[in-house]
Amino acid sequence: MGQNKYPSATSREKFEEARVLLESARKKTKPRTVDLYEVWCALPYLLKSGCQWRMLPGEFPKWRKAHSYFAKWSEPDQDGISVLERALKIRLARSVSDRGATPGRAF
């Protein structure tokens, strides 16, 4: 997928801030077959466009793969907070600090 092809996309540099957290959600038992950056970019695309999982454009991972990561990332931990929520808070905090006091997009 081309970097920032869609308005909802995050740059790879910005994504790296959340990568470690997102990678921790799944035990690595075999080599990953999907780029987590592409999965990450699919989520705001879905939210912004309102499309169904099965209607993800071909530039994103197959919808079942993207959905399985979304489901795993959305599971709450013992504190009731999901990995996805933590990653989004990291991104939001970075966006706000990069721009001063002006709230930014979460993605």
Q: Where are the domains of the chain?
A: 12-99
pLDDT digits (tens, 9 = 90+) for 13-28: 888 888 988 998 877 7
Return the structure tokens found at 27: 């035990």
Calpha distance 44→84 (Å, rounded): 12
Asked if residue 100 has pLDDT above 60, the reply is no
Calpha distance 107→20 (Å, rounded): 17
Higher-confidence position of 3 and 41: 41
pLDDT band at 4; cut points 50, 70, 90: low
Calpha distance 27→59 (Å, rounded): 26
Asked if residue 94 has pLDDT above 70, the reply is no
